[in-house]
């Protein structure tokens, strides 16, 4: 079979992902970014012979089978739709839709297209989450009742290198990112392992702004948002968006009627599987703590060179196989699940602003139900004129202090 020709839209994260597609014997044929410095950075990383574009209209005319959509966090949908309309398969960074209306538009476009659409959520591909998935799917925990997911990523408020690299514009999306929105690294592995789809969400936030003299243009003073969902199988999830409390790390825990499995905080590659004594399978210990191994069809030496503990490679491999075989990806990477996951983030933020009131997640397979949201363009991110629809913080009037903003602007100089 011929090599897949892959384009990269977004030379930051997109260039990182391109490494895994090259390992999967794909050909990177085109790279697009409207920031000259990033385009040149990407060109050096991807290698010679790749066509460079600063205009998306010209980029999508380049012959390609698939495209990695890795532009700004909340702006994926319009570009993904245009690719699908041209029959180009889409590997879309998360979240996939920035508004509820975009989610409806994206699903309709994907249903009209013969191309493949897949959420590029990499954390389910990590070895510990692959192991949790296996344990759940084998029924070892009995009926699944409860799961927790934490993506905890605190950062040094005085880390000037991070600010200049990842937050280089006062209007940058990170300065307006609600704490519920970056949800897929915590929610994705739970959905992947359990097979459960959220149907209702509520959320509350913990407010703790940056220090007075730290360089910042952020309008978000929350450190974390904690969300809970009731799911289609009756189970409950509790999870964060991108949180910033305690020590850095990712933690997952899944509980059933017979036992539970979790990764150990501070030792991410360790699994603890525990059964109730009267439910322990014959020949097994009731408490098992171990480092899981990769599945037989995954080369551990290959994933060592991939990002996010091998997750980048594992999930990219699913996409490549789907494109080659002409089949849509499995749950929760398919377009309906991806939009539902993104909508959890969007509606959880509204719940937080509404005092924790629950919001129902639409059934995105149902056209009548999703049509109710087709005009919902509400967003916490700035429009072209600088206006916003709703606050991005649990304290609606919060904004950076003059000292923080001036330190930030001086840093950018």
Domain spans of the chain, in order of start: 5-119, 124-299+335-373
Measure the N-to-C terminal CA separation of the chain; round to a whole number of Å.
50
Q: In Å, what is the CA distance from 246 to each residue of 151, 154, 190, 250?
A: 11, 8, 21, 11
CB-count burial class (<10 Å; 0-12, 13-18, 19+) for 170: middle
For CA atoms 370, 371, 372, 374, give the dihedral sign. positive
Per-residue pLDDT at 166:
87
Residue 209 backbone class (left: φ over 0; alpha: ψ -120 to 50; beta: rest): beta
DSSP conformational letter for 372: G
Q: Can you give the pLDDT at residue 136?
A: 98
Using alpha carbons, list the distances in angstroms from residue 220 to 76, 211, 214: 22, 13, 14
Q: What is the pLDDT of residue 35?
A: 93
Give the separation between CA 103 and CA 97, rounded to whole angstroms: 5
User: 274: part of which helix (H) or strand (E)?
Assistant: strand 267-275
Element (H, E) at 201: strand 198-207
In angstroms, what is the C-alpha Rg of the chain? 21
Q: Counting runs of H as helices and runs of E as strands, what totals does the chain give?
A: 13, 15
pLDDT score, position 48:
83
- Looking at CATH, the fold of the domain delimited by 5-119 is given as Rossmann fold (3.40.50)
Cα distance between residue 285 and residue 342, in whole Å: 39
Tokens of 411: 């840093």
Contacts of 98-101 with C-beta under 8 Å, sequence gap 24+, read: 98/73, 98/74, 98/342, 98/346, 98/379, 98/381, 99/346, 99/376, 99/377, 99/378, 99/379, 100/343, 100/346, 100/347, 100/373, 100/376, 100/377, 100/378, 101/373, 101/374, 101/375, 101/376, 101/377
Give the 3-state secondary structure of residue 311: helix
Q: Which two tokens stand for residue 22?
A: 């090259």
How remote is the C-alpha of 104 from its chain's centroid?
A: 18
| Model pTM score | 0.97
Sheet containing 27-32: which strands, arranged edge to edge? 51-53, 27-32, 5-9, 66-69, 89-92, 117-119
Place of tokens 């409950």: 236
CATH 1.10.10.10 at 124-299+335-373, yes or no: no
Q: Output the pLDDT for position 266.
A: 85
| pLDDT confidence of residue 108 | 98
Can you list the residues of the chain whose pLDDT is less than 50? none
CB-based contacts of 291, cutoff 8 Å, min separation 6: 269, 270, 271
Residue 136 sits at the vertex; the CA angle it makes with 132 and 140, to the nearest 5 degrees, is: 115
- Rounded CA gap, 381 and 275, in Å? 45
Q: What angle separates helix 311-325 from helix 13-23, to the nearest 10 degrees?
A: 60
| Alpha-carbon distances of 330 from 162, 314, 335, 338, rounded to whole Å | 35, 13, 10, 11
What pLDDT shows up at residue 1? 64
Count CB neighbours of 184 within 10 A. Answer: 29
Query: How far apart, in whole angstroms, are the C-alpha atoms of residue 256 and residue 235?
Result: 9
Find tokens 């322990």 and name the residue: 280
- Residue 258 backbone phi and psi in degrees, to 5: -105, -25
């Amino acid at each position: 079979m011929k090599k897949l020709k892959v384009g990269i839209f977004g030379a930051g994260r997109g260039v990182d992902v391109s490494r895994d597609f090259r390992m999967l014997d794909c050909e990177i044929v085109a790279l697009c970014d409207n920031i000259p410095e990033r385009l040149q950075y990407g060109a050096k990383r991807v290698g010679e012979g790749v066509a460079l574009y600063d205009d998306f209209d010209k980029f999508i005319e380049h012959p390609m089978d698939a495209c990695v959509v890795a532009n700004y966090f909340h702006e994926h949908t319009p570009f993904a739709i245009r690719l699908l309309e041209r029959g180009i398969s889409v590997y879309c960074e998360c979240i996939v839709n920035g508004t509820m209306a975009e989610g409806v538009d994206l699903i309709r476009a994907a249903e009209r297209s013969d191309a493949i659409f897949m959420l590029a959520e990499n954390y389910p591909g990590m070895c510990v989450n692959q192991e949790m998935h296996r344990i759940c799917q084998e029924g070892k925990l009995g009926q699944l009742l409860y799961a927790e997911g934490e993506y905890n990523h605190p950062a040094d408020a005085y880390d000037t290198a991070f600010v200049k690299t990842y937050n280089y514009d006062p209007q940058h999306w990170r300065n307006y990112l609600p704490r519920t929105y970056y949800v897929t690294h915590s929610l994705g592995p739970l959905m992947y392992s359990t097979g459960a789809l959220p149907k209702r969400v509520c959320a509350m936030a913990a407010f703790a702004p940056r220090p007075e003299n730290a360089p910042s243009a952020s309008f978000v003073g929350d450190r974390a948002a904690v969300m809970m969902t009731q799911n289609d199988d009756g189970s409950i999830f509790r999870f964060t968006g991108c949180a910033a409390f305690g020590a850095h790390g990712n933690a997952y825990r899944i509980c059933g009627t017979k036992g539970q499995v979790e990764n150990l905080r501070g030792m991410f590659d360790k699994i603890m599987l525990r059964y109730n004594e009267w439910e322990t399978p014959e020949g097994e210990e009731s408490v098992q703590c171990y480092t899981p191994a990769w599945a037989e069809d995954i080369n551990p030496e290959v994933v060592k060179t991939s990002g996010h503990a091998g997750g980048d490679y594992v999930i990219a491999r699913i996409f490549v196989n789907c494109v080659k075989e002409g089949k849509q990806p499995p749950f929760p990477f398919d377009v309906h699940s991806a939009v539902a996951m993104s909508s959890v983030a969007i509606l959880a933020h509204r719940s937080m602003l509404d005092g924790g009131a629950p919001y129902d997640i639409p059934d995105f397979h149902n056209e009548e139900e999703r049509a109710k949201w087709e005009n919902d363009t509400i967003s916490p991110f700035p429009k072209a004129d600088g206006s916003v629809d709703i606050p991005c913080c649990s304290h609606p009037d919060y904004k950076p202090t003059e000292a923080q903003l001036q330190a930030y602007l001086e840093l950018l100089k």
